Every structure is written in structure tokens, then in C-alpha cells.
């Protein structure tokens, strides 16, 4: 119990949170660092360390012990901890975020991508949704709990890490492997749960407002296809041409999509969105009717693509390279295939199936294999998230959700820490939110943060002040 802990002034806390967001956007922590032209003429070398140092300074000045750790110079992450106050604490809760952002195409922006401008109630800039908004919200929750004092039944850990946008080798992946203590308590027990990016925002489908509580993310099976042929002069064609073989191989893969399949989380999510016809179609093996129902039921094309990708393992050719010269028939070539798998898919079996599909045209090889992850949908912390959302927005629904991209949650999964995507934001029905991730004109309404900050605080404060299993 927090006892006589002072109530939070949410107007002030939200305003402070927005200022932290704007300050973080003004630090160009572009990944890969140092790409001056992509970063609107700004040098982003050391940007991650600068952003991590900003967090550490804010926390330290509020009396919270915080440190910046670097894998290599400039690739910094901020770790801080509000320790448990009870004698026999529960395992910690982690507030996870990443400080890096993807590059920008500055000419496509309406406002300075690194200006952090606040215009008509909207904060503009790279990272406004992915994910400096959540860095600022988690920072604000740390500050509120530090100021409130009172009893804590577990450690609350703040981890704002580098390099999420390039796989976490210089961030979560490294720290989870080399310093698991950063995500554990003094007794060495890993955290009971982590709260991270993406899920938690509202979606409006046919007038229904639904919050997705992200409990799962698809697996990654990045795959290479290698083709070889007989090199020769371009004026004397021979059919043993690596470029042609690759072209045929990727075309065969595209023509043979994996069958649609419902996971329990996706099935419940479809029902909440009023898309039972989609689930019915898949269950009865009528994919055409399922995807027609999806087309008819969801107006936002990006949300529609996102839902479609929740329904099957996807195999997407993203790079093809063969040949170096106009008049030379290539003797070898490579295609890169971005394969994303549902929970329950055997990734190696899928690659073997892809090999059978392309036959002798090319050799299929795994590059990176990370299975899908799924945390318990019925964990007490999920119920806390649901009830906090519904208390703040009684007319909405809140349901577990799977996302199709990967996050740093996969690194924490190696420590057996269940990670939930929960960045609560109430968004207008016409907000093209998903297209803003890595998109031009990335922006977030202040009203969305004013909604989300107290919701996040409610979940965190209840989880760390009560005896509650993970």
C-alpha cells in the first residue's frame, strides 16, 4: 500500500512528460549513428548515449540512482532502479524502451524531424511514436513513483536501451546476455514482467474503439537464397543464369503463400474488432472469404495489412542481387527473404518447405532465427492493464494482441521475462497511427499522452505496491 502517498498532479506530470519527449526528439539518436545526410544534416554520432544521458540526468536529479552503460563509445543505454522497500520482495518490473530512432528523409517532412515542435497540441519529430513518447512516459512514471515514496513490493527497473532498430546487438541483446543482473533483483531472480513499446494504443474499427494489449510478437526467420550459374559473355546467352534462377525462385515463393492459421490471441482479437467473419473463413478453410471480409471490415489499409500478416507465416523477398556488369551473365546471386512466423511454427520446417518450393533453382539458408514469443494473456498484470484502460475509457474494449514486427522483447524472452507491449494512447479514429512508425511526419497528440500517462502509472504503481505474482 502506498498509504498517504501524495496524489499526482496529472496536468503538471503530462506537461513535464511532453517536455521530456520534445527534449529527446531534439537529440538525433539515429541508428545507424553518424549518417549525417539521412539525419537532416545532423551528426547523430553518440546520439544514443546523449539520449540515455538525458534520462539518467532527469532520474538522478530526482534522487533515483541511474547509470549510462555503453557497449562501444556512443552506443549508450540508461539503467535505473527504484528498489523494493519490503523485506521479502517479489521479482522486479522492468520499464523497457529504446532511445534509438530510424533515419529520416527530411524532404518528406512538414516539420523539422529533430525539432520536437509542439504545434496545435501535437508533438512532431522522429521518435514521437517509435518510441521516445514511451521513453518519456516511463521516465515520468519513474519520477512520480520516486516522488510518491511509500512501500514497494518489488524493484522497478528503468531500461532505455540503444540499437533496437538494428536488432539490439549494441543494446538489449548485449545487456541481456552480458549483464542479466540489470534485469534481475538482488537475489538473481529475473523480472516478473516488462512493459515495452507498440501495443496499448487505440484502434477504431467500424465505430468500435479497441486497445490491443500486446502479449505476443511473431518470430523472425531471416533467410538467404543463393543461386549459382555459368558465367559468360552477355552476347551469348545461356540458360544457366543466376539472375534468372533467382527471379524464378522468388516468384515461386510469392505464388505459394503459407496457409492462414488462427492463434488463440488473434482469434480473440478479431472477435473484439467485430471481424468474426474473418475468423470463420479461416476456420472453414475458405481463405478467399476470410480476406474479403477483412477488406470489407477494415478501412485503414495499414491496419488491414497488419491484421492480414497476423493470419499466416509470411515470406517476403526484400533484396535481390546478381551480376555486376551489363555484358556478363552472373555466375552467382543472392536474395534476402524476410520470413515472419506465427507462434507454433517450426521455423526450420518452414525453410525446408521453401527449399522444396524452389527446388534446384537456389539454396535456402537461415541467417537469423528468432522464434515467436508469447506471454500469458491471463497474467495478473494483463488484468491490471485491461482494468486501467477501461477505467479511463469505459466505452472501449481492451484485448490481448499479437504484433507482426519484432522488438527487444525477444532479448528479454531469453531471460524468461514476459514482455508486454503497453504504450497506452487514446487516438482519434482517423489517426493513421501504424503508418507513422518509421514513417514521414511522425507525430503524437499531447491528448494521447495525457490519456496514457495516468493509465501507465496506474498499472505500474499497482504492480509494484501490491503483492502480486507475475
Q: Specify which residues 94 forms β-bridges with.
A: 157, 194
Alpha carbon distance 420, 194 (integer Å)? 6
Alpha carbon distance 111, 15 (integer Å)? 21
Cβ of residue 439: shortest distance to Zn ion, in angstroms?
13
Q: Which one of the spans 73-81, 131-139, 212-220, 318-326 is the region binding Zn ion (CB under 5 A)? A: 131-139
What does the per-residue mask of binding to Zn ion show for 247-286, with x meaning CB under 5 A?
----------------------------------------
Q: Which one of the spans 7-15, 126-134, 250-258, 386-394 is the region binding Zn ion (CB under 5 A)? A: 126-134
Other beta carbons within 10 angstroms of residue 306's beta carbon come to 17
Among 39, 58, 101, 131, binds Zn ion (CB under 5 A): 131
Alpha carbon distance 74, 20 (integer Å)? 21
Is there binding between residue 104 and Zn ion (CB under 5 A)?
A: no
What does the per-residue mask of binding to Zn ion show for 2-41, with x meaning CB under 5 A?
----------------------------------------
Is there binding between residue 135 and Zn ion (CB under 5 A)?
A: no
**Phi and psi torsions of 96, nearest 5°:** -100, 140
Is there binding between residue 408 and Zn ion (CB under 5 A)?
A: no
Alpha carbon distance 303, 231 (integer Å)? 45
CA atoms within 13 A on the CB side of 154: 30
Cis peptide before 32 (omega within 30 of 0): yes
Among 48, 90, 100, 130, binds Zn ion (CB under 5 A): 130
What does the per-residue mask of binding to Zn ion show for 168-197, with x meaning CB under 5 A?
-----------------------------x
Residue among 49, 264, 22 nearest 161 (CA): 49
Q: Is 342 helix (H, G, I), strand (E, B) or coil?
A: coil
Tell me which H or E stretch contains 223. Answer: strand 219-228
Cβ of residue 217: shortest distance to Zn ion, in angstroms?
12
The alpha-carbon radius of gyration of the chain (Å, integer) is 23
Cβ of residue 201: shortest distance to Zn ion, in angstroms?
13
Residue nearest to Zn ion (CB): 130
Q: Which one of the spans 83-91, 128-136, 328-336, 351-359 is the region binding Zn ion (CB under 5 A)? A: 128-136
Comparing CB distances to Zn ion, the nearer of 123 and 131 is: 131
Amino acid at each position: 500500500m502506498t498509504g498517504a502517498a501524495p496524489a499526482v498532479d496529472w496536468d503538471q506530470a503530462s506537461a513535464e512528460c511532453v517536455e521530456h519527449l520534445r527534449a529527446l526528439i531534439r537529440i538525433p539518436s539515429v541508428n545507424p549513428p553518424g549518417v549525417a545526410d539521412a539525419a537532416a544534416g545532423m551528426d547523430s554520432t553518440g546520439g544514443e548515449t546523449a539520449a540515455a544521458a538525458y534520462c539518467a540526468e532527469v532520474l538522478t536529479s530526482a534522487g533515483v540512482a541511474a547509470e549510462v552503460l555503453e557497449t562501444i563509445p556512443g552506443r549508450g543505454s540508461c539503467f535505473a532502479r527504484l528498489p523494493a522497500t519490503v523485506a521479502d520482495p517479489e521479482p522486479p518490473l522492468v520499464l523497457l524502451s529504446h532511445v534509438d530512432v530510424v533515419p529520416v528523409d527530411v524532404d518528406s517532412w512538414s516539420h523539422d524531424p529533430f525539432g520536437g515542435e509542439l504545434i496545435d497540441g501535437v508533438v512532431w519529430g522522429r521518435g514521437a511514436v517509435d518510441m521516445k513518447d514511451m521513453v518519456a512516459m516511463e521516465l515520468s512514471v519513474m519520477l512520480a513513483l520516486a516522488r510518491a515514496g511509500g512501500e514497494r513490493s518489488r524493484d522497478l527497473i528503468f531500461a532505455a536501451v540503444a540499437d533496437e532498430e538494428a536488432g539490439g546487438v549494441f543494446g538489449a541483446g548485449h545487456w541481456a546476455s552480458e549483464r542479466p543482473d540489470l534485469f534481475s533483483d538482488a537475489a538473481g531472480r529475473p523480472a516478473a514482467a516488462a512493459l515495452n513499446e507498440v501495443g496499448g494504443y487505440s484502434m477504431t474499427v467500424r465505430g468500435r474503439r479497441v486497445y490491443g494489449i500486446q502479449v505476443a510478437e511473431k518470430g523472425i526467420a531471416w533467410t538467404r537464397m543463393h543461386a549459382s550459374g555459368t558465367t559468360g559473355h552477355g552476347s551469348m546467352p545461356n540458360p544457366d543464369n543466376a539472375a534468372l534462377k533467382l527471379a524464378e525462385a522468388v516468384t515461386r515463393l510469392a505464388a505459394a503463400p503459407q496457409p492462414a492459421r488462427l492463434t488463440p490471441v488473434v482469434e480473440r482479437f478479431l472477435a473484439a474488432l467485430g471481424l468474426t467473419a474473418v475468423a470463420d473463413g479461416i476456420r472453414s478453410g475458405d481463405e478467399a472469404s476470410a480476406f474479403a471480409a477483412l477488406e470489407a471490415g477494415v478501412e485503414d489499409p495499414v491496419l488491414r495489412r497488419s491484421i492480414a500478416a497476423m493470419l499466416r507465416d509470411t515470406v517476403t523477398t526484400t533484396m535481390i542481387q546478381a551480376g555486376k556488369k551489363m555484358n556478363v551473365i552472373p555466375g552467382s546471386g543472392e536474395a534476402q527473404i524476410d520470413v515472419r512466423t506465427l507462434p507454433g511454427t517450426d521455423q526450420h520446417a518452414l525453410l525446408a518447405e521453401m527449399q522444396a518450393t524452389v527446388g534446384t533453382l537456389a539454396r535456402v539458408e537461415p541467417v537469423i532465427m528468432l522464434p515467436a514469443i508469447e506471454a500469458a494473456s491471463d497474467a495478473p498484470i494483463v488484468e491490471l492493464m485491461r482494468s486501467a484502460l477501461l477505467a479511463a475509457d469505459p466505452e472501449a474494449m481492451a484485448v490481448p494482441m499479437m504484433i507482426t514486427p519484432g522488438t527487444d522483447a525477444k532479448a528479454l524472452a531469453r531471460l524468461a521475462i514476459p514482455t508486454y507491449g503497453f504504450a497506452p494512447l487514446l487516438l482519434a479514429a482517423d489517426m493513421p497511427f501504424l503508418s507513422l512508425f518509421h514513417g514521414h511526419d511522425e507525430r503524437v497528440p499531447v491528448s494521447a499522452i495525457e490519456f496514457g500517462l495516468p493509465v501507465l502509472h496506474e498499472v505500474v504503481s499497482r504492480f509494484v505496491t501490491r503483492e502480486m505474482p507475475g
